[in-house]
Amino acid sequence: MKAKKKKRQDDFQKVKLKVGKKKPRADNATNTNFRTKGIHLPEQLKRDTSGPTTHRQLGINELLSQLHHYNANVKHSALLGLRELLSINPSLLEQHLSRLLSEVAAVFTDKDGNVRVAATRVLRFIAQSVPAERVAPFFPLLSAHLSCAMTHIEAGIQEDAMAVLDVFLEHYPALLAARPAVLLTNFLELISHRQNSGAAKKAQDAKSRMWTLSVNPDRAVSSQQWRLSVLLRLGRFLQAVVEERPVGESDMSALSERLFGSSGEGRIATLYLNWEELIYSKVGVRVYEHSGAKPTPHSTFKLRPEVDPGAAVTEGLDSAETVQSFAATLVPLLLEVWVEASTAHCPSNSTEGAHLLSPDAMSVMFQVLTVLQLLRKLAPQQEHQDALDAWFRKEYLGDFKQHFMKNFPYGTLDTPKPKKKADLKRSKQPAAILGLTVEPLALNITLCQVMVSLSQKQSQGRESDGDWVTPLRTFVRDTLGNTVKLSYRQLHMLLGTMWKMVLTQRSRTVTEDLLAAVYIYYKQRNLSLQTRSLLLSFYSKLYQQEQGHTHIARSKVLCRWLASLPLQLSQLGHRNPALSAQLISSIQAAAARGNKDLLNSLQMHACKLYDPQEGVVVLLPAESQQRMVQLLYFLPKMSQPLLANLSCCCTAGRISAGLAASLIRIVHLRSSLSGWTVGSQEAALQDVDYISFLFSTLIGFSSEDLDSLQEDDSTLPPSPLSPLSLYPTPLEQFTHHWDVVEEVCHCLEMLGSKSQCFDIVQNGICKYVTKLGVVPDSMAAGLLRAVSRLLDLSILPVEPVLRFLSQCCLSLLAMLVTLQQAAPADTNHKREAIWGACITALSSVPRLLRMLLQLLRVSDLNEEELPQLGQILSMLLQHTPLHNQLLANTALLQEIIQHLTRYSRGATREQWLTDLLYCYSVTVAHGSSAHRGGLRDMY
């Protein structure tokens, strides 16, 4: 025993350490001494010189290759680098677009959520920079990856796929809506699943439903919030399909602006073609064979080949059967979603407060109604739309009445605010995700529109819809009648609903009740331009339906509205030209139909509307001015104050000369002197008033303006060479008045007897014009023009008129010489008009030339006026049509020339006198041998 113990002690003997001695090295000690050598890889440290790089010196090739890395952080940093690189160098998008789209789309289904979010951000950046035509060749690949993400087994990938879908809906709706069948199936699978065969057999009913709503407890949001998210995207997608569908020939009217189911006005507009845009446009370009010699309206030019007819039914929504098949699958699911949302906060056995909804439930129900609306619009053509509505009514009207109308109208449920911050954040999460809040008014209005679309026209052989339409009609009437604040879209939907009610109910009582509510809303102040314009369009287009619907004809509300339009137009004026133009259009439509209430109101406010200073006829743009002038034709009577305003409008220059001529012609047609009547239309004005209107327009100035000219000290006083003080009108005013004078003369010539017309003009000149000392040059030239056109050879003007005309002619010729000396290029038209008026009057009016020569007294002229007189005589002598009149007054002419020669004696003969003597010798001396001796003595 002692030996064994000793041996054990030897095995485990403790080493004794001594002070000052080195500690012995352990048997298992590790040697830490090592040597190192550096490894240099210069190729890896070189910068990428093939293109731009990020701040980490990574080019686009390296970044794209890193998207295949197994590490999520590497892929996430690569996506961040791509966004940085593309924002700094946008040109890389064009060079590497194919690789960028394919690589970024491949990570839509990545397992890491941060990678998917970064990929969506890169995709949004690309979509903001690249147009649809550049992305189109690669969009099938993007659509395939989107479908994979939407149908992925992971709930997080499905939720992030909604963000990718948002990018496509925002930037590429046309490409996304090109083949909708696959995506529509994906939408169904997001909120539902197919029933298995056994369950399907048990669930077979009249509609043979094969889909049922699904619930996934693994989602970060509730089932209701998830369905709301999916339905929101489904609505936007269906809206894109409706908007981007190509428009056929039968639907061309949809291109024009039309409201409430009536086609717009036919307008011809210039079409500017951009071939790159037309490749993806929804409007086809119609071309004709044989270059238009033999037009073939049915040939349609399209830049892309049509889809195979066999595949159209399965891949698109181009047929009514496909739309109906999809609706048969979706509508039952929507009804389940509606029932689930409407009963979420209400016990099944309680009806009290069932119409009150939570914000989430209201948003879901609103999206259900929105999708139902869009399903109706998916019909390719109008006849398919009617068939689809009839199918909806047959299959689902009972379900809609049971679920939709059960608690109508709906309101908001007052929920207590959460006290804890955590609960507050949780309650705000859905709003933050969707950014959608729906008011009860919007829900109720949308429900009205959906339900009214299923109503049918009342007739003897059809079932009445009064039991479920009455609450809708009451809601619409109360909403408008109580002047509830509505947005433009809500008002548009309400008016569309009312339009459908009026045309389907066919009841005068119902029509008057609804229109009265609209009129109450219409009379509000401070309505926006868009809202006021919408209400005007509603009333105007409803009035156009008057002839085919007896319950609308002679509506008291419509008559009251029409009677108020002229006053509204006069009060609005030029403050809003667009709204004024719409008012004029409505007035014109009713005036053409002979509405008595409107015509009487128009007659009452005509003087204010056609005021030459502040009336809308002179303040609005040219197109509205033309419509205002056209309205004159429908006036029952034209009073003297109105005619005075119209005359001032023609002469003031506030409207164009062409429009003034149209106004004069319209007044001429409404007078009895024109000899032109239509039906039982009576003359709108008396003959005396019409003649006064023409003469006032011919004068071109009002009596007040002429009186102020007589007191104007700035005009030059009369002189021997200018018996009248001529007021020089501006060139633009002179040209305008000259065109108006031509139209007045044309109307006077059409009255029948020229002698009577000349007597009327002559009496007017004697009574109002001959006493004037200052005369505008445009007025003097216009009177000479009118007298020369109306005068007959058998008529001799009276002495006062002849004297005044000769003074006008001499004064104008003196002014013409002054204008020729100044010789501005812009006065050519004015000089030609004055010269033509003077020469025509001198050659056609008897004794006018003789009286003009008698006015020429050389002894009263100063040295500066002698050359002017010589130039006037030279101009007259050079004009061939005046030779006969000059030969008849040779004695007077010879006496004037002798006096000129005597008073201009000097060392040398001036050039103007030499020219005058030469013209005299050529035109007069050689024409009369009896005066050759006197001419020899003169030289």
The string of DSSP letters for 598-611 reads HHHHHHHTHHHHT-
Instruction: Give me the average pLDDT of each 10-residue run along the chain (939 residues).
Output: 60 75 82 83 61 76 87 91 87 87 91 92 91 90 91 89 92 86 85 65 49 76 84 90 63 40 41 53 50 45 41 53 85 88 64 75 89 85 78 87 85 66 44 61 89 73 68 89 86 90 84 89 87 89 81 85 92 88 91 90 93 91 92 92 92 91 92 69 83 91 86 79 87 91 89 80 87 89 89 81 89 85 71 89 87 82 80 83 81 82 65 81 61 37
| Domain ranges within the chain, ordered by starting residue | 60-178, 189-194+222-243+317-345+354-413+435-454, 459-554, 562-699, 701-855, 871-938
**Token pair of 826, please?**
């812009």
**Integer Cα distance of 685 and 603 in angstroms:** 13
Q: Which residue has the tokens 């000690």?
A: 29
CA 390 centroid distance within chain = 35
SS3 269: coil
CA dihedral sign, ordered 81, 87, 92, 93: positive
The string of DSSP letters for 853-899 reads HHH--GGG--TTHHHHHHHHHHHHHT-GGGHHHHHHTHHHHHHHHHH
Query: 339 with 403: CB under 8 angstroms?
Result: yes
**Token pair of 378, please?**
């998916």
Query: 697 with 740: CB under 8 angstroms?
Result: yes
Query: 165 with 124: CB under 8 angstroms?
Result: no
SS3 719: strand
Identify the H or E element spanning 364. Answer: helix 359-377
Within a 13 Å sphere around the CA of 851, how many CA atoms are in the beta-carbon half?
Answer: 21
CA dihedral sign, ordered 276, 281, 283, 288: positive
- The pLDDT value recorded for residue 56 is 77
635 CB burial (10 A radius; 0-12, 13-18, 19+): buried
What angle, rounded to 10 degrees, do the helices at 508-522 and 466-481 form?
20
Peptide bond into 566 cis (omega under 30): no
**Token pair of 111, please?**
């397992």
CA 417 centroid distance within chain = 46
The CATH-assigned architecture of domain 60-178 is: Alpha Horseshoe (1.25)
Residues ≥6 apart with Cβ < 8 Å to 653: 732, 733, 736
Q: In sequence order, which ranges of 506-576 are alpha helices (DSSP H)?
A: 508-522, 529-544, 556-572
**Token pair of 131, please?**
């147009």
Query: 86 with 126: CB under 8 angstroms?
Result: yes
**Token pair of 730, please?**
């501006």
**Integer Cα distance of 246 and 56 in angstroms:** 48
367 CB burial (10 A radius; 0-12, 13-18, 19+): buried
- The pLDDT value recorded for residue 7 is 59
Query: 538 with 494: CB under 8 angstroms?
Result: no
- The pLDDT value recorded for residue 291 is 46
Specify the pairing of strand 725-727 against strand 774-776: parallel
- The pLDDT value recorded for residue 166 is 92
**Token pair of 632, please?**
């004159």
**Token pair of 142, please?**
């993007």
**Integer Cα distance of 576 and 624 in angstroms:** 12
Q: Which residue has the tokens 């009214």?
A: 452
CA dihedral 121, 125, 126, 128 (to 10 degrees): 130
Q: What are phi and psi of 94, to 5 degrees?
A: -70, -35
- The pLDDT value recorded for residue 270 is 46
The amino acid present at 806, given as its one-letter code, is S
- The pLDDT value recorded for residue 642 is 93
CA dihedral 794, 798, 801, 802 (to 10 degrees): 70
**Token pair of 511, please?**
């029509």
Identify the H or E element spanning 212. Answer: strand 211-213
**Integer Cα distance of 744 and 733 in angstroms:** 16
- The pLDDT value recorded for residue 43 is 65
- The pLDDT value recorded for residue 873 is 84
886 CB burial (10 A radius; 0-12, 13-18, 19+): buried
**Token pair of 541, please?**
């287009």
- The pLDDT value recorded for residue 200 is 45
